[in-house]
A and B are shown apart, each in its own frame.
Chain A
Amino acid sequence: MTASSTTRPAPLVAHGNGIANLPGHRVVLGVERPMPLDNGATLGPFTVAYQTYGQLNADRSNAILICHALTGDQYVIDRHPITGKPGWWELMVGPGRPVDTDRYFVISSNVIGGCMGTTGPLDADPATGRPYGLTFPVITIGDMVRAQKLLIEHLGIDQLFCVIGGSMGGMQVLQWTVAYPENVFAAVPIATAARHSAQNIAFNEVGRQAILADPDWCGGDYMNQGKRPRRGLAVARMAAHITYLSETALHRKFGRNLQNRKSISFGFDADFQVESYLRHQGTAFVERFDANSYLYITRAMDYFDIAAEHGGVLANAFQINGKVTPTRFCLVSFSSDWLFPTPESRAVVHALNAAAANVSFVEIETDKGHDAFLLDEPEFHGVVRGFIEGCAEHRGLVARRRGGQP
């Protein structure tokens, strides 16, 4: 495996037909046998778009899977092919970074239901040749991870050295450890929870209703009618974006500052900088994300509840045939995160303790809210680096000299 080549900004993805132009690897899975889904249906054949960085070692023991969040994608450290912006986790992943691509073979894939190359509602249903739209099956975090497992098998990897991700990515990490405990040596669930809270389901519902209320959504069939529910999707993003920040961070960044004016306008223009900022977040998001994907992926988060599948007792999820999970865990939360607050992580830690699992847990002091996991937080990066290095020692992975290999 070689690192993917650098990518250049590509034209906007126009419904369905631009996906083939996205850079990176692609594999078609579920060809011989469609993949079973949690809702009872099957999916297949389907495409998974993924990126890899670094080199897989001889005994295939140094693979790290990165799981992305709700609106993330596989371009962890590549320039984004649509927005042209730097990769979303290049502070965490790369040569010499905590997830060191000089030492580890790093894999990241777009989730199923997504819109960056992996099969989702925008893509053509092989049975009809037309875009799935709302005929795409309602998927779960478990289904996303099942698809990732098929990808890992396709890459010839039995056990991942580490699975790491934040927010919905953290849900996938937890799902990996529960569904495939023998295939995960170490897990880093960040700013996440073992179940989506009522408040978070509520926020997701606001976003979905904004999309559904947009006439251009066309009952989910906009892609066949040459339309896009831009307004609805933008409002969904604006509402969600607030939950990724904190009151302190918003105030520090914007206060009550006015946008390009000296006094309030007594109207409904974006008088305040914070309004202008949110509007920009909304419109920029629409350029790179599909509305139906947003519906499906938020729903997958809502349905996530590990304990519910284990007799209502979370600790049971970390017992395999009466034995404690072999995976080493490191959970991280952020003090000002009110979307996935520290008690959510602590609940997982308590369950892991009750199962006598090997677990570390750190709450990082920050005022940057949920988004802190994407930002420059040296303490956070130090913790992840230390945990991964400690696990590498236990796994018997020998550090390679930096700069020797491409």
Chain B
Amino acid sequence: MSPFDAVGADTPATLPRNGTGRRGDIRVDLKIIADMVRPGARVLDVGCGDGALLDHLAHHKGVDGRGMELSMDGVRLCVKQGLSVIQGDADTDLKDYPTGAFDYVILSQTLQAMRNPRDALEHLVRIGRRTIVSFPNFGYWRIRLSLLFQGRMPVSERLAYQWWETPNIHFCTIADFVTLCHELGVTVEQSVILGGSGGVTTHQSTGRLANLFGEQGVFLLRRT
């Protein structure tokens, strides 16, 4: 158990359930992202999957939402439920969007699957006035221990792929990500660290503790 794990495990009430949810609750990390978005904003969700976050944002925050998704199954699901989503590849298609076209651009659990995360991040902060990025932290202590003691690439519930089949080709740690933000001249306005078992903290630190005990990081970024 880490300090971060404990927060979520012991106090689930820190994440109030929204009883008015049209299609039920969304994942904890998506809820954290949703909380960062200003009501009524224009939002682009890159790698929007089945559209759960877009749908939540549309119905709870009244956002004007758009999505991009690589998998056709995901796109069809989204469009069928009335969401504005295109089939597209974030590695190649972000360049089409004009600068400052959206209030928020969201990249949720997708950064590590991109061929060129650095270029993508540059495009994201260009297209959006604010950018929200969430990703799994490869510096998480369980991953470190797994590598240290088993000498094998870690496979967990959240990262449930063998090395030869994983779509996640560019893992990074929270420390790596913060370093890249500095290099790109991007300001971290807010960071939320999720410990194991979905536990969450509003810990603002992006330092060593977060890098060790955070299983996921959610960052709100702004061009400097």
Contact = CB atoms under 8 A, between A and B. Distances in A.
Interface of A: 328, 330, 349-351, 353-356, 358-363, 365, 379, 382-383, 385-387, 389-391, 393
B97 interface: yes
B153 interface: no
The 6 closest A-B pairs by CB, nearest first: A390-B82, A386-B80, A361-B86, A356-B101, A353-B96, A350-B96
Contacts of A356: 97-98, 101-102
B72 interface: yes
A358 B66 contact: yes
B36 to A, nearest CB: 22
Contacts of B75: 360-362
Contact of A349 (B80, B81, B88, B98): B88
6 contacts: A351-B96, A360-B78, A360-B84, A360-B85, A379-B76, A390-B84
A262 to B, nearest CB: 44
Q: Which residue among B84, B93, B98 has the maximum number of chain A CB atoms within 10 Å of its CB?
A: B84
B124 to A, nearest CB: 14
Nearest to B102: A356
A45 to B, nearest CB: 42
Given A356-B101, A358-B66, A362-B87, A386 B82 contact: yes
A237 to B, nearest CB: 33
Interface string B57-93: 0000000101000001001101111111111100001
A382 B101 contact: no
Q: Is the interface of A mostly helix, strand, loop or mixed?
A: helix
Interface residues of B, number: 22
A382 B66 CA distance: 19
A330 B101 CA distance: 19
Contact of B76 (A349, A355, A358, A383): A383
Contacts of A365: 72
B82 A358 contact: no
Given A350-B96, A353-B96, A382 B84 contact: no
Given A360-B75, A360-B84, A360-B85, 13 more contacts: A350-B93, A350-B96, A354-B96, A354-B97, A360-B83, A360-B86, A361-B85, A362-B79, A363-B72, A386-B80, A386-B81, A387-B79, A387-B82
A365 B76 CA distance: 11
Nearest to A354: B96
Given A349-B86, A349-B88, A365-B72, A360 B79 contact: yes
Contacts of A385: 80
B82 A353 contact: no
B187 to A, nearest CB: 24
Interface in B114-143: none
Nearest to B101: A356
Nearest to A393: B82
Contacts of B86: 349, 353, 359-361
Given A353-B97, A354-B96, A362-B72, A383 B79 contact: yes
Contacts of B80: 382-383, 385-386
Contacts of A328: 84
A178 B172 CA distance: 45
Contacts of B93: 350, 353
Contacts of B101: 356
B50 to A, nearest CB: 13
Q: Which residue among A358, A359, A361 has the maximum number of chain B CB atoms within 10 Å of its CB?
A: A361
Nearest to B65: A358
Contacts of A350: 93, 96
A349 B88 CA distance: 9
Contacts of A389: 82
A386 B66 contact: no
Nearest to A385: B80
A386 B79 contact: yes
B84 A362 contact: no
A390 B81 contact: yes
Contacts of B102: 356
A349 B96 CA distance: 9
Nearest to A392: B82
Q: Which residue among B86, B87, B102 has the maximum number of chain A CB atoms within 10 Å of its CB?
A: B86
A387 B79 CA distance: 6
A363 B72 CA distance: 7
A331 B12 CA distance: 42
B76 A390 contact: no
A129 B115 CA distance: 67
Contacts of A360: 75, 78-79, 83-86
Nearest to A389: B82
Nearest to A350: B96
Contacts of A391: 82
A391 B75 CA distance: 17
Contacts of B76: 362, 379, 382-383
A361 B74 CA distance: 12
A368 to B, nearest CB: 16
A366 to B, nearest CB: 12
Contacts of B98: 354-356
B98 to A, nearest CB: 6
Nearest to A329: B84
A396 to B, nearest CB: 14
A353 B191 CA distance: 29
